[in-house]
Amino acid sequence: MSGGGRGSRVRGGRAPVGGGPRGGGPRVGGPRGEATILDVPAASGIVLAGGRSTRFGRDKLAEPLRGRPLVHWSILALASVCTEVVVVVPPIGNPPPLPSVREIGVPIRVVRDPEPAGGPLVGLLAGVERAAESTALAVGGDMPGLVPDVLATLLRALAASDAAAAALVLRGRLEPLPAAVRTGAATDAARALVAGGERRLQSLLGALLVRELDEGEWRALDPTAATLRDVDLPEDLGT
């Protein structure tokens, strides 16, 4: 599995998803009129939007998809399960177009990445350092297929375990995003990794105790695994 072997793993099935949340409360409806998602632990949503879109050839997060800029889909998905959304953007330049607070129903804040093209771990660190909640849920700004019920399952799984992070497994591989983390543990580990020159998200999961959600725990909610799809090339917008 990706992420290295420095941190011990909580294998799927050892910590039940159905445990009660540690804090937080029921959602009273999503920003897009989705079905209510109940009993989701309070969490800050973090959108990593500081990449350079080198492979795409232009700012992909502003590209239209189904009538909205691409980055809106990640923000809307997080807003349906989180108490706030933090969008991490490059240190210079205009941030991507963002939906309004009235539209998404929760506060939205922009945080600047501390270094140009510093890598996703640096961006995640900037986000968790400013998160208001003790749990954070991180996604990429180029992930338009995020399923809110899968995100809620990640948060519940983390809350019901003694792990410091929770992530999805697909075909035997631990996926770095989306990931739920305890902000204190993630901040300490990420600071140490960044100080040592590390920039990969997988390295953070390798340094933390991770609750791994096997496919049997989440694929029924997302049969096509759309939650894990990201956009790297213009042709990916049509898939």
Tell me the domain boundaries of the chain: 42-224
CB-based contacts of 220, cutoff 8 Å, min separation 6: none
CB 23 within 8 A of CB 114: no
- Provide the b/e sequence for 77-102 (b: ≥16 CB within 10 Å): bbbbbbbbbbbbbbeeeebbebbeee
Residue matched to tokens 């990201």: 230
Give residue 23's pLDDT band: very low, low, confident or very high (50, 70, 90): very low
Which residue in 31, 6, 49 sits closest to 148, CA to CA?
31
Higher pLDDT, 15 or 88: 88
CB-based contacts of 19, cutoff 8 Å, min separation 6: 156, 159, 160, 161
Q: Cα(37)–Cα(60) distance, rounded to whole angstroms?
A: 30
Give yes or no for residue 182 having a pLDDT over 90: yes
For residue 67, the model assigns a pLDDT of 82
Residue matched to tokens 């050892």: 14
Strand pairing report for 108-112 and 135-140: unpaired
Condensed to tens digits (0 to 9), the pLDDT of residues 134-168 reads: 999 999 999 999 999 999 999 999 999 999 999 99
Angle at 146 between CA 141 and CA 151, to 5 degrees: 110
Q: Which amino acid is at 200?
A: R
For residue 39, the model assigns a pLDDT of 85
Condensed to tens digits (0 to 9), the pLDDT of residues 38-91 reads: 689 999 999 999 655 555 445 677 677 788 998 999 999 999 999 999 999 988
Condensed to tens digits (0 to 9), the pLDDT of residues 186-204 reads: 999 999 999 999 999 999 9
CB 90 within 8 A of CB 14: no
Condensed to tens digits (0 to 9), the pLDDT of residues 201-224 reads: 999 999 999 999 999 999 999 999
Angle at 58 between CA 47 and CA 139, to 5 degrees: 15
Condensed to tens digits (0 to 9), the pLDDT of residues 79-134 reads: 999 999 999 998 888 888 899 999 999 999 999 998 887 889 999 999 999 999 99
Top-level CATH class of 42-224?
A: alpha beta
For residue 192, the model assigns a pLDDT of 98
